[in-house]
Structure formats: structure tokens, C-alpha cells
């Protein structure tokens, strides 16, 4: 059985391997991602992340009531990317977990 704590620590270790930053910094980012997912399951959340081209993207997303939009054609959830339903683009989007900047 996977607990939320093990998910947070898996993300933290993944961030540490990817970025080379200290475990404390990566653990803080992993908890930030956990809180983002928790908020999104119940509400609409504004957040910012860095896109692959280096620009910042301010997004408005949710994970609430999006089951009807899942087609089952994507990759299963991993600890390397964060998936969400983008309300502005009306579609699923994802970003690398190390690229999260802020949550409003």
C-alpha cells in the first residue's frame, strides 16, 4: 500500500537525482506538489511553472470532476511529471515536477 508520505519521498528522491539539489530543498518541493494536488482535487488552483522553452506559464487548473475527460490514451502517472486539467485550454496538461515555481 502506497501512502501519501511515500509518494512525497519518492518525488523528493526523484527531484534530488534530477536536479542535484539538497534533499531538504527537494523534500520541500515535493510537499509543495502534494499540497497542489490536494487543493486541485477539491478546487480550482492558480499556479506557475517553467515550460520546456524556459518561459513561465501561469496556469489555472483542477483535478476535480475530470474523470469524464480521461480517454485512457496517456501514460500512467509517474513521479516525474504532474498532470492536471487546464481550464484555460480545456485539456489535460503536464509539467516536469522540478519546474513548479509558485502556487496561489
* pLDDT at residue 15 is higher than 90: yes
Q: Which residues contact 55 (CB under 8 A, 6 or more apart)?
A: none
pLDDT digits (tens, 9 = 90+) for 27-80: 999 999 999 999 999 999 999 999 999 999 999 999 998 776 777 766 656 678
Distance between CA 58 and CA 103 in Å, rounded? 10
Across the range 12-25, mean pLDDT stands at 95
Distance between CA 10 and CA 41 in Å, rounded? 20
Domain of 75 in residue numbering reads as 4-103
What is the Cβ-side half-sphere exposure of residue 6, based on CA atoms within 13 angstroms? 3
Distance between CA 89 and CA 55 in Å, rounded? 17
Task: Indicate the number of domains in the chain.
Answer: 1
Q: What is the pLDDT of residue 64?
A: 92
pTM: 0.85
Amino acid at each position: 500500500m502506497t501512502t501519501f508520505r511515500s509518494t512525497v519521498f519518492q518525488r523528493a528522491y526523484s527531484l534530488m537525482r534530477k536536479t542535484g539539489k539538497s534533499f531538504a530543498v527537494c523534500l520541500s518541493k515535493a510537499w509543495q506538489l502534494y499540497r497542489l494536488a490536494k487543493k486541485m482535487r477539491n478546487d480550482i488552483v492558480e499556479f506557475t511553472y517553467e515550460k520546456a522553452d524556459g518561459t513561465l506559464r501561469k496556469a489555472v487548473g483542477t483535478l476535480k470532476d475530470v474523470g469524464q475527460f480521461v480517454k485512457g490514451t496517456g501514460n500512467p502517472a509517474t513521479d516525474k511529471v504532474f498532470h492536471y486539467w487546464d481550464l484555460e485550454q480545456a485539456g489535460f496538461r503536464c509539467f516536469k515536477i522540478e519546474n513548479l515555481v509558485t502556487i496561489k
